[in-house]
Structure 1
């Protein structure tokens, strides 16, 4: 399970790396300890017009938006209802009411320099690791997004809409299995475009494809032990990703 991650690049750098056309609104900056419910950057391919069935019409624009980390289903009573849905297990996405509709066309990429995972020893002690894409690299985490409308606000009030997102996880690749039994789904150059393209209806075949390629990306990840300070959300500096 990925419960904390790192974004060590500016919004402008992320736009360049992922070849986004536009930045929408105010986005969070560099963070070495992104935690659940905090705002995160998500990348989407979006059409300005849609057919009655929800399929996109015309050209797509690649946009970077700010979203709440922790998906809020559109039928939910609100963000405070239950634990935040920060992760979705890829094996059961199509069985879960909270996620299955988003798989079809509301897919996103969450840019991350790396993420933290805690290895639990036999005696119960926990050692955090920083699993990352290297000094110059970035991961493209597979995600889903959703829009939730606040029923207490006027239908014409733009602030009534909350954009939220979740990361996906899968059984850990062999190279990372000694740290934790699951890791985020990491998109490869081959699966990145298909995952973002809303012309492609998400189904089990697409999920299977990104799961297979995720292992190839994860096998190349760098990892090392870091200090326990990352366990406190208030700690947020480059010292958190220093190897110990």
Structure 2
């Protein structure tokens, strides 16, 4: 799964990185080294405007709220979407058809169970220091309790798609480590798949998902796992110091 991650770059830098046409100048996000679900996060999506594709960086609520939801609390349970069932689940299936996005991340945290109740956090990130682009979905939800024209009447929300982790016995050491760390893995998009995944004209969302799933472990083979500071477990702690262990837990 992916329940805590790092995104410290500015929306402007992300727009340049993903060759986006625009970014939310009027709504800057501070850098964060400890993003929990229900936070506001940057996503990259494409829309058709006057018949032309427009790619932009947008700010979304992390926890997808489907259009039919009665209130936004649904998003608390849907910050991740299992790729095996996303095409059938009412919460995700409509978004999978034409509202796909990328969720940029510098890396994410996962906890390994130790003796007793002890857990060691690890920071998982690309070995080359590059950005991850997690496969995601997004939705627009209207709060019917607010006026149609109110600035906050519409909520943009997102989820990160996950897949089974590699086998703990995988022949490639990093994939074996990921398999021992957790049984789920966020799906990272290869840059060659990004444009196709984002394109809302591509309606075979289930087919696209199978294609990116098939490359999920290959993408993960370029990652590394570093012991992180246990302080990351408290969402109030937020600094680059969390990325490196300050003291062994076990």
Q: TM-score if structure 2 supplies the norm length?
A: 0.89
**Paired position in structure 2 for 1:33:** 34
Aligned twin of 2:172: none
- The answer on whether the counterparts of 1:89 and 1:169 sit within 8 Å (CA) in structure 2 is yes
Q: CA–CA distance in 1 between the matches of 2:75 and 2:81?
A: 15
TM-score (norm: length of structure 1):
0.92
Structure 1's 163 and 82: CA in aligned 2 closer, same or farther, altered over 3 A?
closer
2:240 corresponds to which residue?
238
Instruction: Determine which of 57, 69, 85 is the counterpart of 1:76.
Output: 69
Q: Deviations over 1:143-190 (max 9, x none)?
A: 000011011112232320000001111011341101111110100022
**Aligned residue in 1 for 2:195:** 193
Q: 1:81 to 1:11 in 2, by over 3 A?
A: closer
For 2:146 and 2:44, locate their aligned partners in 1 and report how far apart those are by CA, in whole Å: 27
**Where does 1:216-235 land on structure 2 (aligned, <5 Å)?**
216-235=218-237
CA distance in 2 between counterparts of 1:29 and 1:21 reads 21
Equivalent residue number for residue 52 of structure 1: none
**C-alpha displacement at 1:11, in angstroms?**
2.0
The answer on 1:44 being equivalent to 2:37 is no
- Equivalent pairs counted in the alignment come to 236
Query: Does structure 1 residue 104 correspond to structure 2 residue 97?
Result: yes
Residues 1:71 and 1:27: Cα distance change in structure 2 (over 3 Å): farther
The change in CA–CA distance for 1:202 and 1:30 in structure 2 (over 3 A counts) is: farther
Is the 1:173–1:219 Cα contact (8 Å) retained in structure 2? no
Q: Which residue of 2 aligns with 1:126?
A: 119
Shift in Å, 1:81? 4.3
Residue in 1 aligned with 2:79?
A: 86
1:139 aligns with 2:107: no
Q: Match for residue 63 of structure 1?
A: 56
RMSD: 1.6
